[in-house]
Structure 1
C-alpha cells in the first residue's frame, strides 16, 4: 500500500508545473503604432468654446468691440442684402393682338385688311428683336425654332396630363406653372395631340431688359392651329369636360420666353394669349349634391293667434 502511494506521488513530481499569470495592465494612452502619431493629433482641433452665460448688455461699447475683434466678427450693416434670381419675367410685354376671325374669317374682309396693315407696321420691332436674339445665339433660325416650339408645347401638356410636376417645370416658366396647375387637383386628364392643321409660325417677337441693361429676356409668340382630344374626369371617374372620341380644332397663340443673358437658358412656355373675339369656353359639367328641402312652417290656428278673454 505504501509503495503504491509513493509511486503515485513520484509521478506527480515529474509532471510539468504550469504557471498561470494575469496580463499586466497599465494606464498608458500611447498607441501601439507610433508611426502616425502626428496624423492622429491633427484629427482633433481644439478651439475655445463661447461663454453662453456672458452678459452682453452690461458690456461697454469698447469691450464689445474688443470681443468682436477677438472672434473675427464684423460689425452689423445698417442695410440687409437679399440675393434673388430672375429666371422669368412677370408677364408678356407688348402682347400680340390676334387678328379678328383668325382661322375662320376671310382675308379679303375689311377688318382683316386693316389688321394686316397694322401688323406690317409692327413687323419692324419683331425684326429688331430677332436681331437681338441672334446676337446672343448666332445659330438661331425662326424656321428651325418652330419644330422645337411644337415639341415643347406637346411635352408640357403631356407632363400636365401625367401629373409630372418636375418635368413640367422644365417646359414652362415660373409664371406659367401655377396657371397650368390651376384647378387640376383630384382630376384625371386624358390629352392627345393628333396633328397640325396649319404649320406653326412665329407671329410676334419682343425683348426687354430687367433690372439692368445686360439682363435681357426675349419672347416669341407662336401661332398653333392643331387638332386635339381632351377629356377631364373628376375624382369619381365621371366625365366633366371634353370627350375621348371627338377631336376639336384648337387655335392658340403661345408665348415662349428665354433668358438670353443666361448661358444655360432654354425656351419655355410663358403664357397663352386669348383674343377678345374668341368665343367663350364650354363650362364644365360639374355634379353637385342636391340639398335637402327646407321644412315648411306649420300653419298656426286662429285660436292661437287671438288672445284668450278672461271670464268675468
Structure 2
C-alpha cells in the first residue's frame, strides 16, 4: 500500500505511484534542430557600444567626427529648441494720438489744427492696413466692426464685474488681462453701460508682422463716447470711487487686436490710449484694518516716590 496512491475514492482503485511521476525536462539555449547552425550564428552582429567614460574633450575634432560618423551619430546642437506660440503682441505699435480737446466743440487751438493735419496724412496708412485686413477677411467692414467692438467692450467689463475670468480671457488679450485684473482683488465693482452719445468709429488701423512676414497682427483703435456708471467698494463695503447714482460721459480710445494669420483668431481688447491732455485722475483710497492698540504699561514712578518718602519719615 505504500507504493500505491488512491486515485478514485469511490471505487477504491489503486494506481502505482511510478505512473504518476512527470518527466523532468531541462531548458537549454540550444536549438532543437542543429541544421543551419552556422547561418544562425552569422545572423547576429556584434555592435560596439559607446564608452561613456571616454574623454572626448582631449581628442582632436577630426577624431571625434570620425568616431561619430562610424556610429552614425549627428553632432549635438549647442541650443535647445522649444516651441512657443505668440497669440498677441507686447504693446500698441504706432499708437493713435488723439487731437487735443476731442469731444469738446468749443476748444480751438493751434496744436489741435496741427494734429488734424497729421491725422489726414496718416489716414493713408490706415486705409492700407484696412485693405490688408480685408485680404484675410473678405467680409470685414468698419461699420459692422464698430458694433462688434462695442459688444466686446461691454462683455469685457461685465465679465470683470462678475469676476468671470474664463470669459474675460476670451475677450481680452494676454497683455491686457493683468491690466484689467490689477487692483481688483478684494473689491466690489458696479458698472453699467447706459448709452452711446456718439456712434463708435474706427480712427486708427495698423498691421505688423512678428518674427516672420507671414505672421501678421492687426490693431484697430475705436473711439467710444458713452455714458456710464461706475462705483468701486472695498472689502468693508465703503465707497472708494464713483457713484451708483451719478452717470458720467466717458471718452475712450480702445485698441482691439486680432491675429490675422490664425484662422481661429478673434478681435479682443488689447489696450487703451490715454492722451497727454487728459486730466489726471485721483487715485483711489486704500483701506486697511485698524491695528489693535497695545495696552500701555502702568507708570510706577509715583509709587516709587511715595515709598521713598515713607522710608525718609521713618
TM-score using structure 2 length:
0.69
Match of 1:210 in 2: 210
- Match of residue 277 from structure 1: 277
Shift of 1:242: 1.1
- Give the deviation of 1:73 after TM superposition: 9.4
Report matched runs for 1:283-298 at 5 Å.
283-288=283-288
- Give the CA deviation at 1:264: 0.8
Asked if the contact 1:175–1:270 (Cα under 8 Å) also holds between the matched residues in 2, the reply is yes
By how many angstroms is 1:79 displaced? Answer: 2.3
3-state SS of the aligned residue for 1:101? Answer: coil
CA distance in 1, matches of 2:73, 2:270: 45
Contact 1:176–1:270 (CA under 8 A) maintained in structure 2: yes
Contact persistence 1:106–1:112 (CA under 8 A) = no
Matches of 1:98 and 1:175, distance apart in 2: 22
Report how many aligned residue pairs link the two structures. 250
Q: State whether structure 2 residue 124 is matched by structure 1 residue 124.
A: yes
SS in 1 for 2:179: helix
Measured in 1, the distance between the counterparts of 2:169 and 2:177 equals 7
Counterparts of 2:194 and 2:140 in 1: how far apart (Å)? Answer: 28
What are the residue-to-residue correspondences of 1:97-112 with 2, within 5 Å?
A: 97-106=97-106, 108-112=108-112
CA drift of 1:118 comes to 1.3
Please report the RMSD computed on the Cα atoms of aligned residues, expressed in angstroms: 3.4
Which residue in the other structure is 1:225 paired with?
Answer: 225
Task: Work out whether residues 202 and 222 of structure 1, in 8 Å CA contact, stay in contact via their aligned partners in 2.
Answer: yes
Contiguous gaps of at least 5 residues in structure 1: 1-17, 20-54, 299-312
**Structure 1 residue 75, shift from structure 2 partner:** 6.9
- What are the residue-to-residue correspondences of 1:17-28 with 2, within 5 Å? none
Between the aligned partners of 1:219 and 1:96, the Cα distance in structure 2 is 11
SS at match of 2:149: helix
Structure 2: give runs of 5+ residues left out of the alignment: 1-9, 12-50, 60-66, 300-314
1:146 correspondence with 2:152: no
Cα deviation for residue 283 of structure 1 reads 2.3
Q: What secondary structure does 1:248 align onto? A: strand
Instruction: Say if 1:107 and 1:113, in contact at 8 Å, map to a contact too.
Output: no
- Residue 97 of structure 2 aligns to a residue whose secondary structure is coil
Whole-angstrom CA distance in 2 between matches of 1:73 and 1:240: 67
Q: For residues 241-277 of structure 1, give each alpha carbon's deviation from its aligned partner in whole angstroms, at most 9, with x where no partner exists.
A: 1111111111100000011111111000101000111
Alignment check: 8 A CA contact 2:99 2:115 kept: yes
SS at the partner of 2:227?
Answer: strand
Question: Per-residue displacement from partner, 1:195-245 (whole Å, max 9, x unpaired)?
Answer: 111110100001111101111111000000111111111112221111111
1:233-252 correspondence runs (5 A):
233-252=233-252
Whether the 8 Å CA contact 1:232–1:239 is kept in 2: the answer is yes
Report SS of the residue matched to 2:163: coil
| CA gap 1:263/1:289 in 2 versus in 1, 3 angstroms | closer
SS at match of 1:246: strand
Question: Matches of 2:276 and 2:254 in 1, distance apart?
Answer: 15
Counterpart Cα distance in 2 of 1:224 and 1:73: 62
Deviation at residue 77 of structure 1 after TM alignment: 3.2
Whether the 8 Å CA contact 1:187–1:235 is kept in 2: the answer is: yes
Q: Which is further off, 87-96 or 75-84?
A: 75-84
Residue of structure 2 in register with 1:171 after alignment: 171
